[in-house]
Amino acid sequence: MSATIAVLGTLDSKGAEHAFVAELIRGHGCKALLIDVGTGGEPTVEPHFSRYDVAAATGVNLEEMMERKDRGECVTAMSEAAPVFLSNLLSDGKIDGVISLGGGGGTAIATAGMRPLPIGFPKLMVSTLAAGNTAPYLGTSDITMMPSVADVAGLNRLTRTILTRAAGAICGMARTQVQTEGDSPLIVASMFGNTTECLTEAKRILEENGYEVLIFAATGAGGKAMEAVIASGMAAGVLDLTTTEWADELCGGVLAAGSERMDAAAKAGIPVVIAPGCLDMVNFGERSSVPAKYEGRSFYIHNLQVTLMRTTPDECTELGRIIAEKANACAGSCAIMIPVKAISVISAQGQPFHDSSADEALFSSIRAHAEVPVLEYTEEINSPVFARACAEKLLALMER
């Protein structure tokens, strides 16, 4: 099977290297489209799409910007234009994969372009930064980062070896067919240690009814990854029973997933069941890492590396409003399920975070702001009764 690979890069400084990869791609029987995102001198090789073509995707006057010779401004502009340009090419069916080579600037631009592309779409970044902290470049995407070992600066015995393997890798990825026929519809779900029993039981019920369940840990990165999967169109429904990341977002905890948490499902218009799982806790690192402004609060030492802080009635009131408004935004069918007796293991009667006034503030706020059905159960969140109710509610919403 033939495939068309976008070869994206700064062709003013790394033109020869990208041209070399393009030639290797053609040698594998694929088509290569050279795309220039450089903003320095003129490209050293002729691109199929110029830097001006890319900049036009967001309406940037690139020529005027380059005259100011502010490299940071130019890199930022191309980092914003590249994802739009690549997404347009993909929407038009013109590319089957993307590869890029670079140092700091090139990696920043290229990975910005790759991140919004769907999960499963082949993306390969050969970078000088691949051996370090890649989180800022990868985000929640499935970009493959390949260390360049030496700088991508000229063609020599080492760079030829690395780039040859990279060209073979992207062609192999783009030409490999993914078998999805016959797969069960996918449900994504959020889970924490304090909601494991609930999600385990709900997952069993959903699977018995013919669905595949993909669980994400509500650890900030996990919530972001779940949002990305939903946005990709892979999910048919969402069981978001562990919305704890919003407590960290509100209070400055270490497991926040950002202000867009819960937005993907709303935009996708797919059925969603939500619960206030673990909104009783904010996560910090070791005890000494807790901000001084929280001294005097109720804490639970989960382990030496994790300190949990109990949310207050005022914080719970705000969290209830946020959860309700996120649910209200859902374009598809949605319901909020409340386990009145406990929203985590440690918020149950007799446990360290039991606080009936804080819980009631949370529940009252949800009731006051929600425009979707709110169903309450005199159960703890890990009760099999509550787990079944959540699973069956989602099944009912998905059958509409």
For residue range 218-236, list pLDDT tens digits in order. Answer: 999 999 999 999 998 899 9
- Name every residue whose Cβ is closer than 8 Å to that of residue 198 and which is 6 or more positions away in sequence: 241, 277, 381, 382, 383, 386, 387, 390
Model pLDDT, residue 182: 64
Model pLDDT, residue 266: 93
For domain 186-398, the CATH class is: alpha beta
Model pLDDT, residue 131: 87
The number of beta carbons lying within 10 Å of the beta carbon of residue 42 is: 10
What whole-number percentage of the chain has pLDDT above 70? Answer: 99
- Name every residue whose Cβ is closer than 8 Å to that of residue 304 and which is 6 or more positions away in sequence: 286
Model pLDDT, residue 329: 97
Does the pLDDT value for residue 251 go beyond 90? yes
Does the pLDDT value for residue 69 go beyond 90? no
Cα distance between residue 159 and residue 249, in whole Å = 43
Cα distance between residue 400 and residue 367, in whole Å = 24
Q: What rounded mean pLDDT belongs to the chain? A: 95
For residue range 330-378, list pLDDT tens digits in order. Answer: 988 999 999 999 999 999 999 999 999 999 999 999 999 999 999 999 9
For residue range 106-148, list pLDDT tens digits in order. Answer: 999 999 999 999 889 999 999 999 988 898 999 889 999 999 9
Residue 116 amino acid letter: P
Calculate the alpha carbon distances from 12 to 36, 61, 71, 102 in Å.
Answer: 8, 19, 13, 12
Cα distance between residue 130 and residue 222, in whole Å = 21
For residue range 270-297, list pLDDT tens digits in order. Answer: 999 999 999 999 999 999 999 999 999 9
Model pLDDT, residue 2: 86
Q: In a 10 Å sphere around its CB, with 0-12 CB exposed, 13-18 middle and 19+ buried, how is residue 272 labelled? A: buried
Mean pLDDT of 20-28: 97
- Alpha-helical runs (H) found in the chain: 15-27, 51-56, 62-68, 71-91, 104-114, 135-138, 157-175, 196-208, 221-231, 245-251, 263-268, 313-328, 356-369, 384-398
Asked if domains 4-175 and 186-398 share a fold, the reply is: yes
For residue range 37-52, list pLDDT tens digits in order. Answer: 999 889 999 999 999 9
Query: Of 372, 270, 400, 375, nearest to 331 (Cα)?
Result: 270
Does the pLDDT value for residue 268 go beyond 90? yes
For 22-35, the DSSP string reads HHHHHHTT-EEEEE
pTM of the model: 0.79
Q: Where are the domains of the chain?
A: 4-175, 186-398
Model pLDDT, residue 232: 86
Could you tell me the CATH superfamily of domain 4-175?
Uncharacterised protein family UPF0261, NN domain (3.40.50.12020)
> Structure tokens of 11?
């062709």
Q: Which residue has the higher pLDDT, 326 or 180?
A: 326
Model pLDDT, residue 277: 98
Does the pLDDT value for residue 6 go beyond 80? yes
Cα distance between residue 375 and residue 169, in whole Å = 50
Model pLDDT, residue 384: 98
Calculate the alpha carbon distances from 390 to 67, 184, 374, 394 in Å.
Answer: 59, 20, 12, 6
